[in-house]
Structure 1
Amino acid sequence: MPKVSDEHREARRRQILEAAMRSFLRGGFQESSMSDIIAESGLSAGAIYGHFASKSEIVAAVASEVLEGGLAAMKEMREPDGTPSHPLDLIQRLVAGLMERAGGTALPVQVWGRAVIDPELRAMFGTVVPAIRAVIADQIALWMHETCGVPDDVAVARGAELAPLMTGILQGGITQAELLDGFDLTAYLALAAPLFEPPAA
């Protein structure tokens, strides 16, 4: 029997995860069954179980895709002239990366809700969210120090203060974008711009 290549296994795994995402987007984590995922994927049950032992494993893998998808899109941002990009540009990149990997706002909201009762997802949050906050804090500090002339130690402290707040604003915006028709997520995030002004002397 010919050996299955790593590339083939990864392609199959991606096919399963994408099918699971579509199923979860329609029916949610709770209502979607393994039968639904199998039917959506077009693969046999054996092919699915060859990659994932249970629906819980698929849910965890999808959650990882959603959470780490946003993080993968984040890195220090600079303009073509070398000056730091505004922190909100980094936030918008995070949103774009998150929504591209998740296919919209519904899955992130579902993942956050399930993490309340799922210890594995809660632990995942405990790793990914601090990493996201760290990148946001660094961009804020870079912007304030190099663009606004704020002393480095003050800029670093301000970045550390604002990063958790921006994470909460981001989650709130994505939740509202999912639940409220016509909600403008870009305009909502832009309202945070005054937070990045230099602190009063």
Structure 2
Amino acid sequence: MPRVTEAHREARRAQIRAAALRAFSAKGYQRASISDVVAESGLSAGAIYGHYDGKQALFAAVAEEVLSRRSTEIDAAGGDGVPPSPIEVLTILTGGMTRDLEDGKVLVQLWAESTVDPVIHDVVQHVVVDLRNVLTAALQAWFGARPDVAPDGPDAAARLLLPVMLGLGQGFLVQRALLDDFDGARYLEAAAAVLPS
């Protein structure tokens, strides 16, 4: 019998994560089931459980993958040696989440679920810690290149701006999910007017 390579296993896990994201986006986290992931993926339930223990583990993997994409995009934006500005970081973050999460309602549902489900709460906390680290590194790099706007140093400036950046990102995603007349471009335009540049 041929040996299954790690590359093949990772390709299968990626297929399962993509199917889970589609199922969660279509039905919401609570209503989506492993059966929905099976239907979306074309794989058997055994194949899903062979890689993930259940829906919560699958959600954690999907969340980490979505965040990993944002981290890669933010890193790439500074690839020319010029760190992206706070508004560029926010635009990358919100643009990527918009691409990955369609209308974003599943994210709002998960944030709400994390207030009553301890397992989801722990997953959300882990993802937020990772997101903070990504944003902090990006802000430190930008403030490091712009000492004129960081009189107390890049670390202090990044720490001060971090909760605002998180709030602006969450505000974008919540309004996009809930408001029929939400204008993402105008939101980012307004954010650019208040963020340091």
Greater relative contact order, per chain length (Cα 8 Å cut-off, separation 6+):
2
Task: Tell whether the structures are fold-level matches, with TM greater than 0.5.
Answer: yes
Q: Distance in 2 between matches of 1:183 and 1:60?
A: 28
AA in 2 matched with 1:54:
G
The answer as to whether partners of 1:140 and 1:158 remain within 8 angstroms in 2 is: no
Q: Distance in 1 between matches of 2:78 and 2:49?
A: 44
Q: Distance in 2 between matches of 1:126 and 1:196?
A: 21
Q: Distance in 1 between matches of 2:142 and 2:5?
A: 44
The answer as to whether partners of 2:64 and 2:127 remain within 8 angstroms in 1 is: no
Q: Distance in 1 between matches of 2:107 and 2:139?
A: 22
Identity %, equivalent residues: 35
Q: What does 1:1-201 correspond to in 2, within 5 Å?
A: 1-75=1-75, 77=77, 85-116=84-115, 117=117, 118-142=120-144, 144-145=146-147, 149-150=148-149, 152-153=151-152, 156-197=155-196
The answer as to whether partners of 2:77 and 2:83 remain within 8 angstroms in 1 is: yes
1:146-201 C-alpha deviation (Å, 9 max, x unpaired) = xxx34653565333212211210111111101211231223212212343458xxx
Look at both structures and tell me which one has the larger radius of gyration over its CA atoms. 1
TM-score after normalising by structure 1: 0.80
Question: Helix, strand or coil: the match of 1:9?
Answer: helix
Q: 1:62 to 1:139 in 2, by over 3 A?
A: same
Question: Helix, strand or coil: the match of 1:181?
Answer: coil
Q: Distance in 1 between matches of 2:146 and 2:194?
A: 11
The answer as to whether partners of 1:77 and 1:139 remain within 8 angstroms in 2 is: no
Moved over 6 A (4+): none
- Deviation (angstroms), 1:45: 1.8
Q: Distance in 2 between matches of 1:119 and 1:79?
A: 34
TM-score after normalising by structure 2: 0.81
Give structure 1 stretches of 5+ with no counterpart: none
1:21-47 C-alpha deviation (Å, 9 max, x unpaired) = 111111111111111111111111221
The answer as to whether partners of 1:85 and 1:143 remain within 8 angstroms in 2 is: no
AA in 2 matched with 1:153:
D
Q: 1:42 to 1:141 in 2, by over 3 A?
A: same
